[in-house]
Amino acid sequence: MRPIILTVDDAKAVRTLAKQALAPFACEAQEATNGYNALFAMEKALPDLVLLDVSMPIMGGLELLEMMRANATLRPIPVLMLTSPADHAAVPKITALGVSGLLVKPFPPAALVEKILRILPLRKHAPEG
């Protein structure tokens, strides 16, 4: 089965960047605009990796991360936190909650792919033909 990567970010540009960066790989890129929507997405299909923004409306990344770590089903899912320089005060708490990595925005697609591949081995799509 293809791995599922869920990008949770209120910025469409970040979700689009993640989807484009993952396009060469045999995986399913899913999206959610906030932590609340991410919980619904995780009920339908557990992701193999969550790319999680810290600051979002309705339910932010820190709140979602706390909920994931308190839930036996969601706890093992690796999380790559997408932070901004303004989130520096939250970094110690994020780290204490056990994330697989941090990536400061803005970032190039190659940096995102590099971080993802350290956490989740992905295969490139087989060539057509």
Domain boundaries, the chain: 4-119
**pLDDT tier at 113, thresholds 50, 70, 90:** very high
Overall residue count recorded for the chain in this entry: 129
- Report the pLDDT value the prediction gives residue 3, as an integer from 0 to 100: 97
Which tens digits make up the pLDDT trace of 11-42?
Answer: 999 999 999 999 999 999 999 999 999 999 99
Question: Tell me, what amino acid is at 12?
Answer: K
Superfamily grouping for domain 4-119: Response regulator (3.40.50.2300)
**pLDDT tier at 125, thresholds 50, 70, 90:** confident
What count of other Cβ atoms lies within 10 Å of the Cβ of residue 24?
A: 12
Question: Tell me, what amino acid is at 43?
Answer: E
Instruction: Specify the pTM.
Output: 0.95
Residue 61 has pLDDT above 90, yes or no: yes
